[in-house]
Amino acid sequence: MIAGDGLVEAVAPPPADLSRLRALPAVDEVLRSEAGLFAVERHGRQAAVMAARAALDAARAALRAQAGTVPGAADLGAGALAALEAAARPNVRAVYNLTGTVLHTNLGRAVLAEAAIAAATLAMRGAVALEFDIATGRRGERDDLVRDLLTGLTGAEDATLVNNNAAALMIVLNTLAQGREAVVSRGELIEIGGAFRLPDIMARSGVQLREIGTTNRTHFRDYREAVGPETGLLLKVHTSNFRVQGFTAEVGARELAGLGAETGVPLVNDLGSGTLVDLVPWGLAHEPTVAEAVAEGADLVTFSGDKLLGGPQAGFIVGRRDLIARINKNPMKRAMRVDKIRLAAIEATLRLYADPDRLADRLPTLRWLARKADAIGAIAARVAPAVAAAAGPRFSAEVAPCASQIGSGALPLSTLPSAAIRLAPVERKGAGQALGDLAAAFRALPVPVIGHIADDAFWLDCRCLDDEADFAANLAGLAIGPAR
Ligand SMILES: *Cc1c(COP(=O)(O)O)cnc(C)c1O
């Protein structure tokens, strides 16, 4: 063991090593090296001393283990600085999402509009009128900040919001059906991913699941037979991340709303990736809009903020005023409430929808989803030479057509024609390893570049690439593992 000042105890090293250990510089000398001084300036004296000691400890261990040159103060200072820089690097790191999945849950889903970023920054920097009515000077409600925007965009009577759509569903279930039943088709008992499974959410909300129908077919009579004194709500779930095809039957929301009205049981429609506008004008497939779900007669509609809507994480609940009032009185609401930063970003995002003509210019999610394959191909062609140069002669690089996905469960079967830079190993031998090394090297860049491996190649889908010059400059440090 080594004490901090370099005293050696316990196992006595061979005499030859002892002299080499004595040749190591002192902690102070390491800190007076150029890198050492820089480390003190950037990370503070205490951290720099600890890092210098750690570098010396590692050097001693190495010298004991094997012969080698004794590192000088400059080398040890550089080592200490590198360790401090690595430890200080943020864990939340910006990356280039070239996966081809626009709303990538693991990469943070929607990228916010500049207006939303500005609003969130303002809310972070100072006090804001969050629950304060500026006109009267009295207490206000935080939901008031976005209620009119949400009702205006959806046609609903009232609106509220919580942390995410999973929370929205939980509080809706708990408010309307605690200790009672929620009727759901077996074809809609979905798992969204991770820990979000509808039956589990229902159980934790204190609601008894009443499954009806079969995986592929559920009929109106199944719903009618299930509704009774124990029924708290009818739940319709947008099967956002899969499709049942073939011999299928499902009951539309309009029909279910009729049953709900007749029996006095509220219909809740969980849209998931609810959109506020029809995406067809931007060349995308039709995804049910929130306004449509409201017009079909759902008593409540729930949807996410960070999917197709293109805002921050949030769960919106819109619908009947009396039901929203009950939700707002549920103590769970306080545990799920949205903070001022996100509220500011949500308001700014919703306001962009007032001008659909410029929506695609301002909302990155929509801009990327609407991007045409030839425009993406032009981006790919412009950055391809830099990518090819960085990848080196062991890989062939070409611009190739590919298919992007929307992600986050929206329109799972419809892909968007796109373009990528396709990197393929020149040598067939060890190609799998080479591709893995290549993907790892791109992830190890100062701003990690995330692509995907498919069909014996590494693909960088350029749909979500905007800052081409920064992207190319970032590639300079690409270091691919040795050929094996
Ligand atoms: C994504 C999704 C959810 C969960 O929404 P989060 O905002 O991720 O919590 C719930 N239901 C459906 C149908 C979804 O697609």
The CATH number of the domain holding residue 315 is 3.40.640.10
Q: In this structure, which residue's CA is closest to atom 6 in ligand 1?
A: 165
What is the dihedral angle through the alpha carbons of 279, 280, 281, 282, rounded to the nearest 10 degrees?
60
CA 95–ligand 1 middle distance (angstroms) = 24
In this structure, are 219 and 288 located in the same domain? yes
CA–centroid distance, 304 to ligand 1, in Å, is 6
Both 441 and 395 in one domain: the answer is: yes
> Is residue 246 domain-resident?
yes
Does one domain contain both 180 and 253? yes
Domain contains 154:
yes
Domain boundary pick from 327, 362, 397? 362
Say how many Å lie between the CA of residue 265 and the centre of ligand 1: 23
Listed residues 362, 379, 408: the one ending a domain: 362
**Closest CA to ligand 1's atom 14:** 272
Return the ligand 1 atom nearest residue 190 CA.
13
Do residues 333 and 371 share a domain?
Answer: no
- The answer to whether residues 252 and 270 belong to one domain is yes
- How many CB atoms within 10 Å of residue 98? 23
Residues with CB under 6 A from ligand 1: 164-166, 192, 196, 237-238, 240, 270, 272-273, 304, 315, 408-409
Q: Do both 84 and 233 map to the same domain? A: no
Q: Are 368 and 310 a contacting pair, CB within 8 Å?
A: no
Q: Whose CA is nearest to atom 10 of ligand 1?
A: 272
**411 Cα to the center of ligand 1, angstroms:** 13
* Distance between Cα 311 and ligand 1 center (Å): 14
Containing domain of residue 53, as a range? 18-88
- Domain assignment present for residue 9? The answer is no
The answer to whether residues 295 and 177 belong to one domain is yes
Question: Which of 310, 383, 380, 350 is closest to 102 using CA atoms?
Answer: 310
Distance 166 CA to ligand 1 centre (A): 6
* Residue entry with tokens 């030859």: 16
* 12 part of a folded domain: no
Distance CA 166, CA 177 (A): 16
Residue 7 lies inside a defined structural domain of this protein: no
406 Cα to the center of ligand 1, angstroms: 14
One domain for residues 28 and 80: yes
In a domain, residue 429? The reply is yes
- Residue 483 counted as domain residue: no
Whole-Å CA distances, 222 to 177, 213, 218, 252, 256: 19, 6, 7, 13, 11
Amino acid letter, residue 15: P
User: What number does the ligand 1 atom closest to the CA of 169 have?
Assistant: 10
Ligand 1, residue 313: give the atom nearest the CA: 7
Name the residue of 101, 105, 170, 196 to mutate for ligand 1: max ligand atoms within 8 A of Cβ. 196
H-run or E-run covering 397: strand 395-404
Tokens of 382: 């412009």
Give, in order, the Cα–Cα distances in Å from 2 to each of 21, 55, 65, 74.
11, 12, 14, 22
The verdict on 158 and 237 lying in the same domain is yes
Mean pLDDT by 10 residues, the chain (484 residues): 48 63 95 97 98 96 87 96 95 96 95 98 97 96 96 98 96 97 91 77 93 89 95 90 78 93 96 92 92 97 96 98 98 97 98 96 97 98 97 97 88 85 96 96 96 97 97 92 58
Number of domains in the chain: 3
Please tell me whether residues 324 and 192 are part of one structural domain.
yes
Q: Whose C-alpha lies nearest to ligand 1, atom 1?
A: 272
Residues with Cβ within 8 Å of residue 286, at least 6 apart in sequence: 278, 279, 280
Q: How far is the CA of 272 from the centre of ligand 1 (A)?
A: 4
Distance (Å) from CA 457 to ligand 1 centroid: 32
Q: What is the pLDDT of residue 48?
A: 98
* Residue nearest atom 12 in ligand 1 by C-alpha distance: 272
Q: Reduced to 3 states, what is the DSSP secondary structure of residue 2?
A: strand
Domain boundary among 300, 334, 362: 362
Q: Are residues 303 and 405 in the same domain?
A: no
Q: 459: domain CATH number?
A: 3.90.1150.110
Nearest CA to ligand 1 atom 13: 272
**How buried is residue 246: exposed, middle or buried, by Cβ count under 10 Å (0-12/13-18/19+)?**
exposed
Let me know whether 68 and 120 are in one domain.
Answer: no
Residue 34 forms part of a structural domain: yes
Cα angle vertex 213, ends 207, 214, to 5°? 110
